[in-house]
Amino acid sequence: MKDNKIPSDSLAERLLIEILTAIAARFKSSLEGKVAIEDVIDSCESIINDLPLIKEYVSPCFPPYYNIFEFCKGEYLQRIEKSIEPFIPRSESHALKDPGILVVLASWLDNYEILLGKLDIRQQEDQLLSMKLVNTLIR
Domain ranges of the chain: 2-138
Q: How confident is the model at residue 111 (pLDDT cuts 50, 70, 90)?
A: confident
pLDDT value of residue 115: 78
The pLDDT of residue 133 is: 59
pLDDT at 2: 44
Question: Is pLDDT at 25 greater than 50 in this prediction?
Answer: yes
The pLDDT score that the predictor gives to residue 134 is 58
Q: What is the pLDDT of residue 1?
A: 44
Comparing 29 with 132, which gets the higher pLDDT? 29
pLDDT value for 79: 94
pLDDT of amino acid 22: 96
| pLDDT at site 34 | 92
Average pLDDT over residues 89-96: 66
Nearest Cα residue to 82 out of 125, 22, 138, 139:
125
pLDDT of residue 96: 63
Residue 42 has pLDDT above 60, yes or no: yes
Arithmetic mean of pLDDT, 99-120: 80
CA distance 137 to 89: 9
Q: Determine the average pLDDT of the residues in 41-54.
A: 91
DSSP-H helix ranges across 32-98: 37-48, 50-53, 68-84, 92-97
